[in-house]
Amino acid sequence: MQLFAWQGRGDTAIIGTDDVLLAAAPPTAGEKLYSFGTHPGCRARVEGEAVRLEPDFGPEGTGELYELSGTRLHSRVNLYNAAAAILAVRAFGCEEEGIRAGLADFQPPQHRMTPVGEIDGVRFINDSKATNVGAVVAALAGFGQGAEKEVVLIAGGRNKGGDFAALVPSFRQYAKHVVLIGESASDLAEVAEGAGVGFQLAADMEEAVASAFAAASQGDTVLLAPACASFDMFRSYEHRGEEFGRCVGELAEKG
Q: Is residue 1 part of a domain?
A: no
Based on the fold, state whether residues 156 and 195 are members of the same structural domain.
Answer: yes
Distance of CA 166 to the CA centre of its chain: 17
Please list the rounded mean pLDDT of every run of 10 residues in the chain (255 residues).
75 84 66 86 91 78 84 82 94 92 91 92 96 93 73 98 95 96 98 98 98 97 98 98 98 90
- Provide CB contacts within 8 A for 207, sequence distance 6+: none
| Count of the separate structural domains present in the chain | 2
Q: Is residue 165 part of a domain?
A: yes
Strand partners, 53: 44
Q: Is residue 7 part of a domain?
A: no
Q: Is residue 4 part of a domain?
A: no
Based on the fold, state whether residues 23 and 76 are members of the same structural domain.
Answer: yes
**How much is the pLDDT for 12?**
87
Instruction: Please tell me whether residue 199 adopts helix, strand or coil conformation.
Output: strand
Based on the fold, state whether residues 128 and 250 are members of the same structural domain.
Answer: yes
Residue type, 112: R
Report pTM: 0.78
Distance of CA 163 to the CA centre of its chain: 20
Final residue in a domain of this structure, among 51, 79, 105 = 105
**How much is the pLDDT for 27?**
65
Q: In the chain, helix, strand, coil percent, each to 5?
A: 40, 20, 40
Q: Is residue 6 part of a domain?
A: no
**How much is the pLDDT for 1?**
59
Q: Is residue 2 part of a domain?
A: no
Q: Provide the residue range defining the domain that includes 240.
A: 114-254
Q: Is residue 93 part of a domain?
A: yes
Based on the fold, state whether residues 99 and 119 are members of the same structural domain.
Answer: no
**How much is the pLDDT for 255?**
72
Q: Strand locations in 169-253, DSSP E?
A: 175-180, 199-201, 221-224
**How much is the pLDDT for 147?**
59
DSSP 27-87: PPTTSEEEEEESSTT-SEEEETTEEEE-GGGSGGG---EEE-TTSTT-SHHHHHHHHHHHH
Based on the fold, state whether residues 31 and 71 are members of the same structural domain.
Answer: yes
**How much is the pLDDT for 167?**
97
Based on the fold, state whether residues 52 and 173 are members of the same structural domain.
Answer: no
- Domain with 202 in it: what CATH number? 3.90.190.20
**How much is the pLDDT for 108?**
81
- Domain with 67 in it: what CATH number? 3.40.1190.10
Based on the fold, state whether residues 60 and 146 are members of the same structural domain.
Answer: no
